[in-house]
């Protein structure tokens, strides 16, 4: 999880630099990437902080709980935001996409735990 968090943080910092250097170019090519990465990091950070002190069984349960929570958001939540702001609606879609990716990531970590492989970070 630490590697994933570091990867997200690195991408975010890189895109922030691009944003400062040439906003129009950044906006056309990476605004959605930055927002999605920030949404994913917002989900992952508290899970990672909690996971640092857990044993494998408790970590697996924490991941299961987070997957369940994110899945409920996707299944029972609105598919789109009903805002008059175009960017707000787009941001909501990116948040949903980040939730999907975090479910996939947490599921992959569960698989690693189930297979008894060593988990780094």
pLDDT digits (tens, 9 = 90+) for 28-75: 999 999 999 999 999 999 999 999 989 889 999 999 999 999 999 999
Cβ contacts of 59 within 8 Å, gap of 6 or more: 51, 113
Supply the range of the domain harboring residue 97: 2-114
Mean pLDDT of the chain, nearest integer: 93
Span 94-119, average pLDDT: 91
Band (pLDDT 50/70/90 cuts) for residue 95 is very high
Question: Is 121 among the domain residues?
Answer: no
Question: Is 87 among the domain residues?
Answer: yes
Q: How far is residue 57 from each of residues 60, 61, 88, measured CA to CA in Å?
A: 5, 6, 39
Question: Is 14 among the domain residues?
Answer: yes
Task: Answer whether residue 121 shows pLDDT above 60.
Answer: no
Domains contained in the chain, number: 1
Question: Is 119 among the domain residues?
Answer: no
pLDDT tens column, 14-27: 999 999 999 999 99
* Residue 12 structure tokens: 């975010």
Question: Is 71 among the domain residues?
Answer: yes
Question: Is 46 among the domain residues?
Answer: yes
Task: Answer whether residue 98 shows pLDDT above 90.
Answer: yes
Task: Answer whether residue 88 shows pLDDT above 70.
Answer: yes
Question: Is 120 among the domain residues?
Answer: no
pLDDT at 117: 67
Question: Is 84 among the domain residues?
Answer: yes
């Amino acid at each position: 999880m630490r590697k994933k968090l570091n990867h997200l943080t690195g991408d975010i910092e890189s895109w922030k630099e691009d944003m400062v250097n040439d906003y129009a170019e950044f906006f056309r090519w990476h605004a959605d990437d930055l927002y999605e990465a920030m949404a994913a990091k917002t989900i992952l950070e508290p899970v990672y902080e909690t996971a640092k002190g857990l044993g494998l069984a408790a970590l697996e349960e924490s991941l299961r709980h987070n997957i369940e929570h994110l899945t409920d958001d996707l299944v029972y939540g609105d598919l789109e935001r009903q805002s008059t702001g175009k960017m707000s609606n787009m941001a909501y879609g990116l948040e949903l996409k980040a939730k999907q990716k975090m479910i996939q990531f947490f599921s992959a970590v569960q698989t690693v735990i189930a297979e008894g492989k060593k988990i780094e970070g």
